[in-house]
Structure 1
Amino acid sequence: MVIETPHSYHLLIADDNRAFRETLRELLEPTLHIYADLTIHEVDSGEAAVEYSLEVRVDIVLLDMYMHELTGLETLRILKDQNALRPCILITSEATDELRRCAVEANAYSVLHKPVRRQELCDTVVGALNDAYHDPLLGN
């Protein structure tokens, strides 16, 4: 059952691994549709994420850290320059202290470590949407 909300949200997954993008979608869709009208979009690179976000409203972005050409961190910086309010979450297999420090400096909402657990992913996305858009229906 989808709760009626005044907002619909557009989530963008940027990862060069199609199987991982599909896994994230499978983890997110069953849970998040309970809380919000959520549309999930997918792209295979940081460059595509930047281009896509210029053409389509994107409310939240999940970024793989290591992609071809632009890294997730580089993509995050460009996206933040476009729209400072859009939350971005980095997902990485190497969540070092240095990466976390750089992510904080770039205003990432969070850094998640692979493999991502459903509850942690969904809680992080709902928290980011609630913090950014103050939607009371997304409250915990």
Structure 2
Amino acid sequence: MVAQRGKPYQLLIADDDLNFREAIREVFEPYVGFLEAESGEEAIRIVRQRRVDVVLLDMHMQRLTGLETLRIVKRIEPIVPCILVTADATPDLRQAAAEAEAFTVLEKPPRVRELVQTVASALQDAYSDSDPIEL
């Protein structure tokens, strides 16, 4: 998958669970550039220093939650779509995520097909004026 700029899209996953990050890497690495963060703070540093095209955020991380991280990422890079991933997607959390301009909230663990379709849709909505993006 290639961004309009001629370089692969860059996906950032922020999750304190190494096994989950590795599972996400296995799904996406053949198709996009892959960046990892163990915490919200590390994700914010990466967004400030690197080009990031889409962010997957675990809700429950040390210090900063995924929602708090999302709000900061959106202040830094408003166009970058952020997908919140959580095991407890309550209506209140979904509402707060929508207010923070999350692309969507996915139940953890997400199904691979749903995850791939969601990331492709997020990239399509944010960056493409042409045909749908396929992974």
TM-score (norm 1): 0.88
Q: Which runs of 5+ in 1 are unaligned?
A: none
SS of 1:67's equivalent in the other structure is coil
User: Per the alignment, do residues 77 and 4 of structure 1 end up closer, same or farther by CA in structure 2, a change over 3 Å counting?
Assistant: closer
Match status 1:130 vs 2:124: yes
Match of 2:81 in 1: 87
2:68 equivalent among 74, 83, 90 = 74
SS of 1:136's equivalent in the other structure is coil
User: Per the alignment, do residues 4 and 78 of structure 1 end up closer, same or farther by CA in structure 2, a change over 3 Å counting?
Assistant: closer
Match of 1:107 in 2: 101
2:54, 2:90 → 1: CA distance?
A: 23
User: Per the alignment, do residues 135 and 44 of structure 1 end up closer, same or farther by CA in structure 2, a change over 3 Å counting?
Assistant: farther
SS of 2:29's equivalent in the other structure is helix
Give aligned-pair identity as a percent: 50
1:120, 1:43 → 2: CA distance?
A: 22
Q: Which runs of 5+ in 2 are unaligned?
A: none
Aligned residues: 133
CA contact (8 A) 2:2 2:8 kept: no
SS of 2:88's equivalent in the other structure is coil
Match status 1:64 vs 2:67: no
Q: Which moved more, 1:73-82 or 1:5-14?
A: 5-14
User: Per the alignment, do residues 3 and 99 of structure 1 end up closer, same or farther by CA in structure 2, a change over 3 Å counting?
Assistant: closer
Aligned-residue offset at 1:26? 1.6
What do the CA deviations read for 1:9-65 (whole angstroms, capped 9, x no partner)?
1110000010110111122335xx2xxxx1011110000000111111111100000
CA contact (8 A) 1:28 1:118 kept: no
User: Per the alignment, do residues 4 and 42 of structure 1 end up closer, same or farther by CA in structure 2, a change over 3 Å counting?
Assistant: closer
